[in-house]
Chain A
Amino acid sequence: MSSAQFEIQLIASLVAVACAIPGTFLVLRKMAMISDAISHSILPGIVVGFLITHDLNSPLLILLAALTGIITVVLVEYIQKTGLVKEDTAIGLVFPALFSIGVIMIAKNANDVHLDVDAVLLGELAFAPFDRLIIGGIDVGPKSLWIVGVILLITITLLFTFFKELKISTFDKGLAASLGFSPAIMHYGLMSVSSVTTVGAFDAVGAILVVALMIAPAAAAYLLTKDLKKMLGIAICFGIFSAIFGYWVAHWLDASIAGSITTVLGIVFLIVYLFAPTKGIIAVLYREKQQRTEVSLLTFLLHLKNHDEESERHVKHLNEHINWQKVRSKTVLDLAKKNNMILIENNIVSLTQKGDEFTSKAIDYIITNEDTQIEDMKDDFFLFRG
């Protein structure tokens, strides 16, 4: 692995971490689309910044562009507040307008601006190692590495300092406000960090990948944990993994790095979406099936409890009485037998004491939803897990 290769992966990984942190909060605040808006509408800011500084890596350019990001958020909120259009419509109106202004500005100043729209959309990570930062005649590494590094450092510092405030204002705005943690400050703080991160990552990975890096790792992590800190950690890991693995995919396929990283992000999300232990699609389907079986079991037990007459409890006639198909009756019968809830004598089914107690307890619980004794049953039966 050459040093240029290493530097590219390092930059991509730092960008991934810097994106995953604000991205986690954007996902939790249901504001994923705003990152898409910011990533596009900072373009005019970048162009203006470039015309002034003639340096794509100048801090002034980053601040100017980030400011355009904030303006986007303010505009979206302003339009939405008039009550005439909904938030998603407002986003759809604002960012194309700002983005197109940027596109026109690039075209009009083509001689001065060495920016092309392709690079803006997809980034030029492969070229990042060529633009070096030279301090006192010494090469200290690629400029974008330093920029992303500084942004990441700021983001992490802010995260550690204001973690509690971010959490409470994301979860419960009203409580945060009443306790004196201004939700507006946290909101615009998060928007500023998202904007600065977007600009910093923009040069390296482009507008489309920035969005993917912010949203996909956080969305996948959301399906895997019930703890905010872990969600942040998992999102960061997914980001780094996709950055590095994506780089090698691009290397093997001789394809765009940004495109490959985005693809890996998509695949990571898809895998989690399918296989996440409790929130994944397969787990949900399995749970539903289990729940259906358990409801059937309970219906069956209740039928036995309510009917003393043998004609109602004959093995052969069960499906007629409860109106089920044979297969389902068999499954339920086996399940009940396995759990020692029923007894079959001369083809007549009756409840065991355990089955009888279980039925009363379960019905009580389902009707009142209020019985602490049910807690241990939750380990065995999905039905009671709510």
Chain B
Amino acid sequence: MKKIAVKVDDLTVAYNYKPVLWDIDLEIPEGVLMAIVGPNGAGKSTLIKAILGILKPIAGSVAIYDKPYEKQRQLVAYVPQKGSVDWDFPTTALDVVKMGTYGSLGWVKRPSQKEKKAALEALEKVGMLPFKNRQISQLSGGQQQRVFLARALVQNASIYFMDEPFQGVDATTEIAIINILKELRKAGKTVIVVHHDLQTVPEYFDWVTFLNVKKIATGPVKDIFNDDNLTKTYGINYKVSIQE
């Protein structure tokens, strides 16, 4: 039996006392590449944010390898939605990637040459080394997403949470990103991705969670990615053809 990387128990999250996630129980085994799918407003991003302690749940708990998140920050990397930051911020690609090292540095301590080297390596991995000194507003949408990915890679975490990494990126970048995610899985990491495009789920992921305020289903793509669960999640008669 595989270890459980992330365990969510009875998690309920509300905005202004209006629950957006109801009583979620979820176990994510180590080493899966998992998609979280569901309609708009299903609470996909909220689930990630609650797991990472960015939002405070009104009930329930989260464990990362059996311990509370606060004790396991070093094991977790997070890629927020690209639109959640101001890309006109006066900073360069390299500097943004360096921010990924801040967690291991802790308060007050500054990044040194070691952190810079790690950041450059991460930029190289995502093919963004030539752009390291470019101001982030002068990068294309796909390039910005790669910088975000590099920032997560530099954390050298065990678990990666990504909020819609394929949103607004070109096809080349999408392929580049998914290849990196598959490499992470190969290295035994756990990768959790909020995902919009149902067509690509069987091709990209091996694990899937259906979410619509409540958890609908979770498990291996080959077992549970079917019309029945899609219909339950999206409320309409859903048909996708899964290539065997």
Interface, chain A (partner B; CB < 8 A): 28, 30, 83, 161-165, 167-168, 170-175, 177-181, 222, 225-228, 230-231, 368-370, 372, 375, 385-386
Contact = CB atoms under 8 A, between A and B. Distances in A.
B138 interface: yes
B172 A370 contact: yes
Contacts of A172: 80, 84-85, 99
A178 B73 CA distance: 7
Contact of B54 (A162, A165, A177, A230): A177
Given A28-B89, A181-B102, A231-B90, A226 B70 contact: no
Interface string B159-175: 00000000000101100
27 contacts: A28-B89, A161-B108, A164-B108, A165-B108, A167-B99, A171-B89, A172-B85, A174-B80, A174-B84, A175-B78, A175-B99, A178-B76, A178-B78, A179-B103, A180-B106, A222-B90, A226-B91, A226-B135, A226-B137, A227-B92, A228-B90, A231-B90, A368-B172, A369-B140, A369-B170, A370-B142, A386-B139
B170 A171 contact: no
A162 B84 CA distance: 23
B78 A168 contact: no
Contact of B89 (A170, A175, A368, A386): A170
Contacts of A230: 90
Contacts of A231: 90
B188 interface: no
A231 B90 CA distance: 8
A385 B102 CA distance: 31
A177 B53 contact: yes
Interface residues on B, range: 35 or more
A180 B103 contact: yes
A173 B89 CA distance: 13
Q: Which among A163, A177, A231 has the greatest number of chain B C-beta atoms within 10 A? A: A177
Nearest to B161: A178
B89 A165 contact: no
A167 B96 CA distance: 10
A363 to B, nearest CB: 16
Contacts of A167: 91, 99
Contacts, number: 92
Contacts of B214: none
B90 A368 contact: no
B130 interface: yes
Q: Which among B90, B107, B110 has the greatest number of chain A C-beta atoms within 10 A? A: B90
B89 to A, nearest CB: 5
A179 B80 CA distance: 12
Nearest to A226: B135
A386 B130 contact: no
A188 B107 CA distance: 17
A177 B52 contact: yes
Interface string B70-92: 10010010101000111001111
A386 B87 CA distance: 14
A178 B92 contact: no
B173 to A, nearest CB: 8
A164 B90 contact: no
Nearest to A161: B108
Given A167-B91, A178-B53, 6 more contacts: A83-B16, A179-B102, A222-B90, A226-B135, A226-B137, A228-B90
Contacts of B52: 177-178
Contacts of A375: 130
A180 B70 contact: yes
B215 interface: no
A278 B65 CA distance: 49
Q: Which among B76, B78, B91 has the greatest number of chain A C-beta atoms within 10 A? A: B91
A293 to B, nearest CB: 21
B49 interface: yes
B80 A175 contact: yes
Given A171-B91, A231-B90, A370-B172, A180 B73 contact: yes
B107 A165 contact: yes
B111 A368 contact: no
Nearest to B173: A370
B105 interface: yes
Contacts of B16: 83
Interface string B40-59: 00000000010011100000
A222 B86 CA distance: 13
A228 B142 contact: no
B197 to A, nearest CB: 19
B102 A171 contact: no
Interface in B102-146: 102-103, 105-108, 110-111, 130, 135, 137-140, 142
B78 A385 contact: no
A231 B96 CA distance: 16
A26 to B, nearest CB: 14
B90 A226 contact: yes
Contacts of B54: 174, 177-178
4 smallest CB-CB distances across A and B, nearest first, come from: A179-B103, A226-B135, A174-B80, A178-B52
A225 B70 contact: no
